[in-house]
Structures are given as structure tokens and as C-alpha cells.
């Protein structure tokens, strides 16, 4: 399948401004970031969690610990997919028990990834509280899951594809809506 860029939703500067705002919101909601840790959902949640941690550090002077979660083994659609998807490592090298964990992902759509991430995270320990931060909320939820922190709400049709690009993986920071070229 080939994709064509239909619209630019966010550029590098607007992504940075959104992350700065979310960093302030995380700080405010938790009355500081003592006991707060960020866990990015692979793949693009990882770099976004790192960027958020840096923004929090420049506000509060404390950099919260950052981990990455691979949710492949917790997906609910494995048997409806083609071949078994590649499994990567979960790298959370701090104890999540008793902490406020902010899950970070690029896009929330059906909510099924967030559900899988909640299960994967709770198998690592018992966080005091779990919050969810996403750069884009594109609607179409299939589960009763609502993010706590949102960079931008983007109304979409189900056929459209929202792609978040990050420097660490894609060489640039931007958010675009794509469509399939027939």
C-alpha cells in the first residue's frame, strides 16, 4: 500500500509547544513530579516520553525516570492479524509499584493499545496511579478509555491515517494525515 500526505496537522514548533503544555499539566495534576515516571508505548511513544521528560526537567529541575513498554504480547488482535508481529523488549528499569505512571503514546484511536498497555504495565508491579498522555486524539474509541493529557484533538474519518513522525525514528518531528493511494 502507498500513502499520500493529505494535510499537515502539526509541525516541529507546534509539537514542542504541545509537549511543553502537557509537561505543565502533568506537573500541575500531580502537584510536582515527585514519584512520577513516564512510560512510552513502543515505538513512537518512547521518543515522545523522552521529550516530555526533558520539558518537565526544564520546568521543575527534576527529570522523571523514563521507560518503554512493548505491548505486542498483550494485543487483542493477534489472531486476526497476519503473521505474528515482531516482539521487542520492554525496558522499564525502575520499580513501578507505588509510583504515578504517565503512559505516553503518539495517537489514541480505538483505545485498544492503551488497554493492552495498562495490562502490560500492571504485570510489572502496582502503580499508585496511571495517567495517559497522547499527542493526538483522533476519536473513534471502542473502549471506555479517556486520555488525561492531549496535545491536539483531530477529528478524522476511520479511513484516514494519522502519522506522527519523530526525529529519532523518522528524521523529523511532524504530524500528518495520510490517505491510501489507489
Partner 1 sequence: MRFDRRKDLLGLRDVEREEIEAVLETAVPMKDIITRDMKKVPTLKGKSIITVFYENSTRTRTSFDLAGRYLSADTPNLTVSTSSVQKGESLKDTIKTIEMMGPDVLVMRHSLSGAPHYVARNTSMRVINAGDGINEHPTQALLDMYSILERKGRLEGLKVVIVGDILHSRVARSNIFGLSKFGCELRVVGPSTLIPSDIEKLGVKAYANLEAGIRGADVINVLRIQKERQHGALFPSIDEYRELYMVKPEHLALAADDAIVLHPGPMNRGIEISTELAESSRCVVNEQVTNGVAVRMAILYLMLGGGRDEIAC
Q: Which residue among 16, 21, 24, 88 contacts partner 1 (CB under 8 A)?
A: 88
Strand ordering across the sheet containing 2-10: 2-10, 174-181, 161-165
* Cβ-contact 102, 35 below 8 angstroms: no
Whole-angstrom distance between the N-terminal and C-terminal Cα of the chain? 8
**Identity of the residue, 37 or 134, whose beta carbon is nearer to partner 1 in the bound complex:** 37
The minimum distance between CB 113 and partner 1, in angstroms, equals 15
Contacts with partner 1 in 68-87 (CB under 8 A)? 70, 73-74, 78-87
The minimum distance between CB 123 and partner 1, in angstroms, equals 4
**Identity of the residue, 74 or 149, whose beta carbon is nearer to partner 1 in the bound complex:** 74
Omega within 30 of 0 (cis) for the link into 27: no
Q: Does 159 bind partner 1 (CB under 8 A)?
A: no
Cα four-point dihedral sign 108, 110, 112, 113: negative
- The count of C-alpha atoms lying within 13 angstroms of the C-alpha of 140, restricted to the half-sphere facing its C-beta, is 16
**Identity of the residue, 80 or 159, whose beta carbon is nearer to partner 1 in the bound complex:** 80
Contacts with partner 1 in 94-133 (CB under 8 A)? 119, 123-125
Q: Which x/- pattern over 24-63 shows residues binding partner 1 (rule: CB under 8 A)?
A: ----------------------------------------
- The count of C-alpha atoms lying within 13 angstroms of the C-alpha of 4, restricted to the half-sphere facing its C-beta, is 4
**Identity of the residue, 2 or 89, whose beta carbon is nearer to partner 1 in the bound complex:** 89
Q: How far is CA 68 from CA 90, 104, 125, in A?
A: 6, 9, 15
Site residues (vs partner 1, CB under 8 A): 70, 73-74, 78-90, 119, 123-125
Amino acid at each position: 500500500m502507498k500513502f499520500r500526505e493529505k494535510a499537515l496537522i502539526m509541525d516541529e514548533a507546534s509539537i514542542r509547544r504541545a509537549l511543553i503544555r502537557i509537561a505543565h499539566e502533568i506537573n500541575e495534576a500531580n502537584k510536582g513530579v515527585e514519584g512520577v515516571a513516564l512510560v512510552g508505548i513502543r515505538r513512537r511513544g518512547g521518543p515522545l516520553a523522552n521529550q516530555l521528560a526533558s520539558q518537565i526537567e526544564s520546568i521543575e529541575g527534576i527529570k522523571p525516570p523514563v521507560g518503554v513498554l512493548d505491548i505486542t504480547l498483550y494485543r487483542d488482535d493477534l489472531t486476526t492479524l497476519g503473521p505474528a508481529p515482531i516482539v521487542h523488549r520492554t525496558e522499564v528499569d525502575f520499580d513501578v509499584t507505588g509510583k504515578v505512571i504517565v503512559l505516553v503514546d503518539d495517537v489514541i484511536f480505538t483505545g485498544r493499545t492503551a488497554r493492552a498497555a495498562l495490562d502490560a504495565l500492571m504485570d510489572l508491579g502496582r502503580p499508585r496511579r496511571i495517567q495517559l498522555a497522547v499527542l493526538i486524539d483522533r476519536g473513534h474509541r471502542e473502549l471506555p478509555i479517556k486520555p488525561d493529557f492531549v496535545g491536539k484533538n483531530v477529528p478524522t474519518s476511520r479511513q484516514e491515517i494519522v502519522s506522527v513522525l519523530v526525529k529519532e525514528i523518522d528524521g523529523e518531528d511532524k504530524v500528518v494525515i495520510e490517505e491510501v493511494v489507489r
